[in-house]
A and B are shown apart, each in its own frame.
Chain A
Amino acid sequence: MDPTTIIIAATAISIGIILGAAGLGSAIGWGLITSKALEGIARQPELRPQLLFNMFIFAGLMESFPFIVMAFALWFLFANPFLG
């Protein structure tokens, strides 16, 4: 196998791992944020609009990490820096 094939194959596997890790982190993060928001709603139901609003804002902030990681994965996919 020539080196280019090995590099392309390794990049393909690594993109899969990167995206899996990003998905895992994102899902756990969202789970934590929403569970805390739900706890807050259960404690004080009259604050529900406020809590939901803040939940979406902070989740939007926390989503930045998986998206930065995904941007790297897409960079490897479309403009592979390891090739040449």
Chain B
Amino acid sequence: MAVDHGAAEHLSHTKITLAGLTFHQDTMIMSGLAIVGLFLFIFVTTRRLTAGVPGGAQNFMEVVVEFIENTVRENLPVNIPWITPLALTLFLYILFGNWLGEIPTLKSPTADINTTVALAIISFIILVFYSIKFKGIKGYSAEFLFHPFGKWLIPVNLFMKVVEEVAKPASLSLRLFGNMFAGEVMIILIAMLIPWYFNWSAGVVWLGWHLFVGIIQAFVFTILTVVYIAIAQQQMEEH
């Protein structure tokens, strides 16, 4: 079985350089495709809204919107009006991004570490903003310095709190990236290592699982963002 080009070529990105910075052109194109596809899907679905028995697309969107609304409402103690649209956007963009990789010649934009880190940084900035807004700068710094050990162990508190805060965006981005990238790697391995008359069966199984994993990871990212904002709203317990 001849492999004239290696698997590394499929896993690397086409890079373009603008103004001294390097961009992954294929990720940007795929991300644009996901956004345009998502927008068209939502646009067409809302043009055909019926109050009667809904069709497939409207049903799907109703399930998603209701689910995200309920999740946000249950998890946030203080309601912030734009968190539900944020959660919806995150969920739908990540979902469409993950599913775009299922189509044979396309790649998931979320399979690039840059995309997932960007999404995680957005979540982190929102999280820090609401921490400061709900607890005040004094309250937030007090959490860094005095939590959980008290004022004689400030370095330990600082270290633990910084690790905890940095672990949030780091784990969000790496979880999503790892899942999607592993999906890509497995598709390539199945194509490379199993003979052609057999690999369709393994491929179908793996792609089915990857569809499911895409939904789960989009949901986990969204719900973790919402839960982190809810944690940011909690007032610190007195010891």
Could you tell me which A residues sit within 8 Å of B by CB distance? 56-57, 60-61, 63-64, 66-68, 70-71, 74, 78
Taken together as a complex, chains A and B put the C-alpha atoms of A18 and B149 apart, in Å, by 34
Nearest first, the 8 closest Cβ-Cβ pairs linking A and B are A67-B178, A64-B175, A60-B216, A68-B174, A60-B220, A71-B174, A71-B178, A64-B171
> Across the interface, do A68 and B178 meet the contact criterion of CB distance under 8 Å?
yes
Q: For the complex, is B8 an interface residue (Cβ under 8 Å from A)?
A: yes
Q: For the complex, is B157 an interface residue (Cβ under 8 Å from A)?
A: no
Taken together as a complex, chains A and B put the C-alpha atoms of A81 and B174 apart, in Å, by 19
> Across the interface, do A68 and B175 meet the contact criterion of CB distance under 8 Å?
yes
Q: How far is the CB of A46 from chain B (nearest CB, A)?
A: 21
Could you tell me which B residues sit within 8 Å of A by CB distance? 8, 11-12, 113, 170-171, 174-175, 177-179, 181-182, 213, 216-217, 219-220, 223-224
> Across the interface, do B220 and A70 meet the contact criterion of CB distance under 8 Å?
no
Q: How far is the CB of B101 from chain A (nearest CB, A)?
A: 16
Contacting B220 at CB < 8 Å: which of A61, A68, A71, A78? A61
Q: How far is the CB of A56 from chain B (nearest CB, A)?
A: 6
Taken together as a complex, chains A and B put the C-alpha atoms of A63 and B181 apart, in Å, by 14
Can you name the residue of chain B whose Cβ is closest to the Cβ of A68?
Answer: B174
Taken together as a complex, chains A and B put the C-alpha atoms of A67 and B113 apart, in Å, by 12
Contacting B171 at CB < 8 Å: which of A56, A66, A68? A68
Contacting A60 at CB < 8 Å: which of B11, B177, B217? B217
Contacts of B12 in A (CB 8 A): 78
Given contacts A60-B216, A60-B220, A78-B8, contact A70 B171 (CB under 8 A): no
Taken together as a complex, chains A and B put the C-alpha atoms of A66 and B220 apart, in Å, by 16
Chain A contact residues: over half helix, strand or loop, or mixed?
Answer: helix
Q: How far is the CB of B211 from chain A (nearest CB, A)?
A: 13
> Across the interface, do A63 and B8 meet the contact criterion of CB distance under 8 Å?
no
What are 9 A-B contacts defined by CB distance under 8 Å?
A57-B219, A57-B220, A60-B216, A63-B175, A63-B179, A66-B178, A67-B182, A68-B171, A78-B12
Q: How far is the CB of A64 from chain B (nearest CB, A)?
A: 4
Q: How far is the CB of B41 from chain A (nearest CB, A)?
A: 24
Can you name the residue of chain A whose Cβ is closest to the Cβ of B217?
Answer: A60
Q: How far is the CB of A30 from chain B (nearest CB, A)?
A: 13
Contacts of A68 in B (CB 8 A): 170-171, 174-175, 178
Taken together as a complex, chains A and B put the C-alpha atoms of A40 and B11 apart, in Å, by 41
> Across the interface, do A64 and B8 meet the contact criterion of CB distance under 8 Å?
no
Can you name the residue of chain B whose Cβ is closest to the Cβ of A67?
Answer: B178
Given contacts A60-B217, A60-B219, contact A67 B179 (CB under 8 A): yes
Contacts of B213 in A (CB 8 A): 60
Taken together as a complex, chains A and B put the C-alpha atoms of A71 and B216 apart, in Å, by 19
Q: Which of A57, A67, A78 has the most CB of B within 10 A?
A: A67
